[in-house]
Amino acid sequence: MFGRLKQMLIKEFIQVFRDKRTRFLLFGPPIIQMLVFGYAATYDIHHVATVVLDMDNSEESRDLISRFTSSPYFDVQRHLTDSREIRDLIDRGQATVGLQIDAGFAQKLRAGETAPLQVIVDATNSNTALIASGYITQIALGFAQDYEKDRVYRIAPQLTEAIPSVELEQRPWYNPGLSSRWFFIPGIVGSLTLVLVITLTAFAVVREREIGTLEQIMVTPIRPAEFILGKTLPFFLIGLFDVSLIAVVGTLWFQVPFRGHILVLLAGSVLFLLCMLGVGLLISTVSSTQQQAMVTSFFFIMPAISFSGFGFPISTMPQWMQYLSYLIPLRYFLIVLRGTYLKGVGMEILWPQMAAMAVLGFSLLTIAILRFHKALD
C-alpha cells in the first residue's frame, strides 16, 4: 500500500511542479492577492473630498473649518459661495461631504445660543457616509467644548476649575490603533486558503477524468482509497505551505501582530484544510469537466466568504442566515485566526471552533469519499 501511495504522491508532485506557470500560480497569486487585499480591504477612510460654504466669515467659523482642514480624514478642496454648488458637486461625484455655515453662526455662539452646522453627505456608499459623519460629530463636539471653556474663561475665570466635565478615556483591547487592516489580514489568510485548496483539489481530479487518465489509473492495482489519499495529500501539503506563506507575508509586511501560539494556529489550519479538501473532492464528484468544476466552486466560494464574517458581522444577518453560517468552516477558522493573531488565546478558548471544524471535516470527507466511490463504479 505504502509503495503504491508513494508512487502516486511522486506522480502528483511531478505533475504539479513540472510546469513553470503552474508553479507560479501556486505561490505567486496568493502573495499578490494578500498584498492587494491587504491595502484595499479596509474600513478606514482618509482624505474624504469636502467642500465648504462659509456664509458667516467670522473668526469662529474659520476656526471650525481649520479643524476639518487639519484633519487627516477630510480634504477641503473648495470654498464655495452658493449653496446650490454643494448639490451640484455631490451629484457629479466631485465631493462627498459639504459643510454649510450660515450667517449669524458666531453671533449665536457669543450669545450662548446653539449655532447649527449643516452637513450634507453623499450616502451612496453608506459605510463611508456613516464613518465620515462620526468623524464630523467628533470634530464639532470638540470645537463646541473648547469654545465653551474659552467663553467661560473670558466671562468668569474663577469658574473654570469649578465646572464639572466628563472625560472619555478609551482603552481598545487587542487593536489599540483601531486599524481595520488588523481585522482583515487574518481573514484574508483564511479566504485565500479556501479558494486555493478547493480549486486545486476539484480541478486536479476532474482533469484526470476529462483527459481520460482516471480510467487508466483505476485499472492499475491501486485501490480507490489510495487514489483518493494520493490525490488529496499533495494539495493538503501545498495548502499548509500556502497558509504559512500568506500568514508570514501578512504578518511581516503589514505588521499585524501574532500574539498566540503557533501550534494552535497549526491545529486550526490542519482542520480547516481537511474541510476544504472534502469540499473540493465533493465538487469533483458532481463535475465532469473543468468548466463545471469552476462554476460549482464559485457557487460555494462566494457564499462561504459572505457567511463567514470576513467582511461584516454575522450578527447583522437575518436569523436564518446566521443558522446557515454554522455550516461554513471558514466561520470557525476566522475566529481561530483572529483569536490567535490579535487576542493570543489558546485551545481552552478556541476548542469549540476546533471541534466544529473537526466534525465538518469528517462529515465532508466521508460524504465526498462515498460519492467518489459511487462515481468510480
Decide if pLDDT at 79 tops 80: yes
Q: Which residues contact 249 (CB under 8 A, 6 or more apart)?
A: 31, 34, 35
**What is the average pLDDT across 12-39?**
74
Structure-derived torsion over alpha carbons of residues 109, 112, 118, 121, reported in degrees to the nearest 10: 100
Tell me, rounded to whole angstroms, the distance of Cα 24 from its chain centroid. 25
The pLDDT score that the predictor gives to residue 334 is 93
Q: 34-48, 303-317, 347-361: which has the minimum mean pLDDT?
A: 34-48
What is the model's pLDDT at position 84? 87
Q: For residue 1, is pLDDT > 60?
A: no
Pairing status of strand 97-101 against strand 118-121 = antiparallel
Architecture of domain 48-159 in CATH?
Answer: 3-Layer(aba) Sandwich (3.40)
Using one digit for the tens of pLDDT, what is the confidence trace for 152-209?
667 766 666 666 777 778 888 888 877 888 888 888 888 888 988 888 888 777 777 7
Instruction: Give the pLDDT confidence score for residue 214 in this predicted structure.
Output: 62
pLDDT, mean of residues 268-282: 91
Q: Take residue 293 and report the three cell numbers written for it.
A: 468544476
- C-alpha cell of residue 38: 491587504
Whether residue 3 is predicted with pLDDT greater than 90 in this model: the reply is no
SS3 sequence, 288-328? CCHHHHHHHHHHHHHHHHHCCCCCCCHHHCCHHHHHHHHHC
Q: Across residues 237-265, what is the average pLDDT?
A: 87
pLDDT averaged over every residue in the chain: 83
pLDDT value at position 51? 94
Q: Which pLDDT tens digit goes with each residue over 277-311? A: 989 888 887 877 778 888 888 888 888 888 888 87
Cα angle 198, 236, 367 (rounded to 5 degrees) comes to 60
Q: How far apart are CA 335 and CA 207, in angstroms?
A: 34
State residue 98's pLDDT score: 93
DSSP E strand stretches across 5-89 = 48-54, 74-80
pLDDT at 293: 83
**Which three-class secondary structure state does DSSP give residue 80?**
strand
Using left for φ > 0, alpha for ψ between -120 and 50, and beta otherwise, residue 187 falls in alpha
User: Could you report the per-residue pLDDT of 205-236, keeping only the tens digit for each?
Assistant: 777 777 666 666 666 666 666 677 777 788 88
pLDDT confidence of residue 65: 92
Q: Is the pLDDT of residue 360 over 80?
A: yes
For 99, list phi and psi in degrees, rounded to 5: -110, 130
Query: What's the rounded Cα separation, in Å, for the pair 108 and 129?
Result: 28
Mean pLDDT of 28-52: 83
Q: What is the DSSP string of 145-162?
A: HHHHHHHHHHH-GGGTTT
CA–CA separation, 262 and 93 (whole Å): 47
Give the integer Cα–Cα distance in Å for 210 and 63: 71
Record the cell numbers describing residue 87, joined without a space. Answer: 448639490
Strand partners, 49: 75
- Give me the phi and psi of 258, to 5 degrees please: -115, 105
The total of other beta-carbon atoms located within 10 Å of residue 155's CB is 10
pLDDT band of 15, cuts 50, 70, 90: low
3-state secondary structure of 45: coil
376 CA to centre of own chain? 39
Percent of the chain with pLDDT over 70: 84
More confident residue, 159 or 124: 124
Q: What pLDDT score does 220 carry?
A: 65
pLDDT at 24 over 80: no
- Number of CB atoms found within 10 A of residue 188's CB: 25
pLDDT of residue 338: 92
Domain boundaries of the chain, sorted by first residue: 2-42+180-376, 48-159
Q: Which residue has the higher pLDDT, 349 or 167?
A: 349
pLDDT value at residue 238: 84
